[in-house]
């Protein structure tokens, strides 16, 4: 049976004092829980947060990374740099990177290969716009993003990748897919992995829900058979809200 995975994406929020306090509070709240927990602060607070969570059952994540090795790439942050300061996993393909920063599947695939080469695990984000859902192509859009994002990724490498389904229309809007709607897409994602790799790979991969999961809807969403956790945005910025989701995941 797959264990649950709850990841907090802090996005471009917090100051250093707040980030440290949040990390310290979360360490205390989840120390006796038994799921997998990750938090991804802004780049500038990664090291400070790491000092608070090292040795705990929370792992450090990054919100993005460069597709290249160290070198003359002004403003970029490499996977090797992230690994060097304690980062264990990186979120790639988030809808805000796709639609605000115009990242395409080819670039996301390149980043995934680079992350794995640097020894980082990956959370690959996929999901549809509201216009896609209206015309009934949600599963097709997700399949394309999976196929292109995982191009030339082996089944052995896949073991270090989780997938986060995030309907773009539900991110930061307060809207969320119903548990049944989310489960339907998660099941289809698992079927795609089975076709691309194997039934074993499909059974083992963790698929998270990333569309405005919070402390009030998490329990019902996490009860669905193909929802293995959550990629949490706004609710990850409060100790009580995020730890409540973590507790649901540990049951």
The span from the CA of 199 to the CA of 151, in Å, is 18
What was the pLDDT predicted at 77? 98
- Terminal Cα distance for the chain, rounded: 13
Residue 25 has pLDDT above 80, yes or no: yes
List, in order, residues 6 or more apart from 140 with CB less than 8 Å away: none
Residue 169 has pLDDT above 90, yes or no: no
Q: Between the CA of residue 60 and those of 13, 36, 156, 208, 216, what are the distances in Å?
A: 16, 11, 23, 17, 25
Residue 173 has pLDDT above 90, yes or no: no
176, exposed or middle or buried, with CB in 10 Å at 0-12, 13-18, 19+? buried
Residue 106 has pLDDT above 80, yes or no: yes
Q: Region 118-139: what's the mean pLDDT?
A: 93
CA 32 to the chain's CA centroid? 22
Residue 176 has pLDDT above 80, yes or no: no
Q: Region 81-99: what's the mean pLDDT?
A: 97
Is residue 120 very low, low, confident or very high in pLDDT (cuts 50, 70, 90)?
A: very high
Catalytic residue among 94, 96, 103, 114: 94
What was the pLDDT predicted at 93? 98
What was the pLDDT predicted at 211? 84
What was the pLDDT predicted at 124? 98
Residue 190 has pLDDT above 90, yes or no: yes
Paired residues of 9 in beta bridges = 40
What was the pLDDT predicted at 171? 74
Q: Region 159-186: what's the mean pLDDT?
A: 89
For 124, the token pair is 């690959």
What was the pLDDT predicted at 189? 98
Q: Is 166 a catalytic residue?
A: yes
Is residue 170 very low, low, confident or very high in pLDDT (cuts 50, 70, 90)?
A: confident
Work out the mean pLDDT of the chain and round it to a whole number. Answer: 96
The span from the CA of 4 to the CA of 38, in Å, is 11
Residue 175 has pLDDT above 80, yes or no: no
Q: Is 132 a catalytic residue?
A: no
What was the pLDDT predicted at 74? 98
Catalytic residue among 103, 128, 166, 183: 166
Residue 130 has pLDDT above 90, yes or no: no
In Å, the largest CA–CA distance within the chain is 48
Chain segment 193-246, per-residue pLDDT in tens: 999 999 999 999 999 999 889 999 999 999 999 999 999 999 999 999 999 999
């Amino acid at each position: 049976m797959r264990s649950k995975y709850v990841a907090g994406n802090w996005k471009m929020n917090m100051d250093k004092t707040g980030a440290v306090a949040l990390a310290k509070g979360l360490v205390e709240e989840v120390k006796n829980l038994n799921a997998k927990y990750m938090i991804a602060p802004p780049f500038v607070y990664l090291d400070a947060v790491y000092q608070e969570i090292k040795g705990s059952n929370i792992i450090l994540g990054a919100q993005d990374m460069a597709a290249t090795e160290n070198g003359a790439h002004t403003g970029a942050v490499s996977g090797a740099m992230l690994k060097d300061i304690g980062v264990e996993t990186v979120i790639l393909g988030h809808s805000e990177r796709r639609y605000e920063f115009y990242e395409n599947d080819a670039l996301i695939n390149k980043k995934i290969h680079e992350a794995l080469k640097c020894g980082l695990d990956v959370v690959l984000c996929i999901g549809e716009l509201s216009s896609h859902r209206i015309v009934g192509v949600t599963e097709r859009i997700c399949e394309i993003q999976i196929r292109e994002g995982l191009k030339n990724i082996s089944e052995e490498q896949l073991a270090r990748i989780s997938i986060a389904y995030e309907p773009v229309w539900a991110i930061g809007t307060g809207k969320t897919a119903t548990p049944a709607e989310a489960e339907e897409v998660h099941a289809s994602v698992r079927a795609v992995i089975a076709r691309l790799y194997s039934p074993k790979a499909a059974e083992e991969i963790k698929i998270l829900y990333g569309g405005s999961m919070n402390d009030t809807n998490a329990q019902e969403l996490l009860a669905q058979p193909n929802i293995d956790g959550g990629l949490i945005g706004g609710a990850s910025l409060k100790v009580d809200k995020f730890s409540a989701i973590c507790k649901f995941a540990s049951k």
